[in-house]
Amino acid sequence: MQDNPIQHHRMPWSACRSFGAFGAGIALCACLLAGSPSTASAKSIHHNRHNGEVAQDSGGSSRDLPWRTVPAHSVLLKELRSGRVLYEYEPEKRMSPASLTKIMSALVILERGHLDEQATISKNAARAPKTHLRLKTGEVFRLGDLLKAMLIVSANDACLAAVEHVGGDEPQFVALMNAKAFELGLNNTHFNNGCGFDGAEHYSTAEDLARLSEAAMQNPVFRELVREEREMITPVSGQRAYLLHNTNRLLGRIPGVEGVKTGFTSKAGRCLIAKVSHNGRDLLLVILNSQRRWNTAKSLIDYGLRVTETMQ
């Protein structure tokens, strides 16, 4: 899968520093309908999916949003503390998740691996398609640094190397991903690769991806990494350093944004999951297949903060 281009520069390891901004919570994933945009109206509701109860309208309306047709194939916006859904469009539609897959990969790596372990870049990993860091066969990295690269810049070579190290090989690792999906109750999710490449048996939904993101954000290491705007990694076996710039353009631009992940393939379109924490409110946004994911995300975040302000 291919997200934004990676920028990396040769720098001395002594210059390596972490830059991060811990904001507030929201997660977003939206996906545009293939072909012409849908004219069906999305639901602007407050709904507790755990008990099926619909809360009273708190003043929000989809008419407050700046579009006549939904600019994505699938959208889910929820307030995490109450579990209320604030806005949704086709949240149960199976879609290609692109690099949002790496959220599950990272969760399995964090549960099964040790971040100080050393992982060697295989020929298979070094040949991974874009987006990649152009890691070299035989280079050795800390597993934690490969995790940084796959989450911050969505590097597929780093992802495959980490997947192979933890799982033994990719198919065994994918089995662990699907077992975790079953454990989390992701009933409309199935993986057939570790990094998010398109495939007929590789799919998820906005609802499932929201639930996965909530679980991942409970892990302190994951939570810390996805909010970093910049990071630096260097191989254990060499001097070349890689500067990582987060593909999530919301970080540092919208107050309270804490992550989570971007994704893109030709089939999946441009996807985003965002978490926002602002003035005691926690939002999670999932957008799948949207040609205007950043504008769509900002509009939905602003809308969610307005609606939840009236709830308090």
Residuewise pLDDT in 10s, the chain (312 residues): 656 544 444 343 333 333 333 333 333 333 333 333 443 345 554 444 433 322 223 345 666 798 889 999 999 999 999 999 999 999 999 999 999 999 999 999 999 999 999 999 999 999 999 899 999 999 999 999 999 999 999 999 999 999 999 999 999 999 999 999 999 999 999 999 999 999 999 999 999 999 999 999 999 999 999 999 999 999 997 888 999 999 999 999 999 999 999 999 999 999 999 999 998 999 999 999 999 999 999 999 999 999 998 765
What CATH number has the domain bearing residue 32?
A: 3.40.710.10
Name the active-site residue from 74, 122, 154, 213: 154
d(CA 18, CA 5): 20
pLDDT confidence of residue 192 = 98
DSSP 188: T
Overall domain count for the chain: 1
d(CA 212, CA 189): 10
CA distances to 16, 25, 221, 275 from 224, in Å: 17, 12, 5, 13
Instruction: Answer whether residue 208 is part of any domain.
Output: yes
Task: Compute the half-sphere exposure of residue 16: CA atoms within 13 Å on the CB side of its CA.
Answer: 17
Name the active-site residue from 78, 102, 148, 261: 102
Is 105 designated active site?
A: no
Instruction: Answer whether residue 8 is part of any domain.
Output: no
Contacts of 242 (CB under 8 A, 6+ apart): 8, 9, 133, 149, 232, 233, 234
Is 102 designated active site?
A: yes
pLDDT confidence of residue 239 = 81
Name the active-site residue from 99, 213, 277, 290: 99
Instruction: Answer whether residue 253 is part of any domain.
Output: yes
pLDDT confidence of residue 162 = 98
- Parent domain of 91: 13-311
Instruction: Answer whether residue 35 is part of any domain.
Output: yes
Instruction: Answer whether residue 45 is part of any domain.
Output: yes
Contacts of 70 (CB under 8 A, 6+ apart): 33, 37, 38, 40, 42, 89
Instruction: Answer whether residue 6 is part of any domain.
Output: no
pLDDT confidence of residue 286 = 98
pTM > 0.85: no
Instruction: Answer whether residue 1 is part of any domain.
Output: no
Is 154 designated active site?
A: yes
Q: What residues form DSSP beta bridges with 14?
A: none
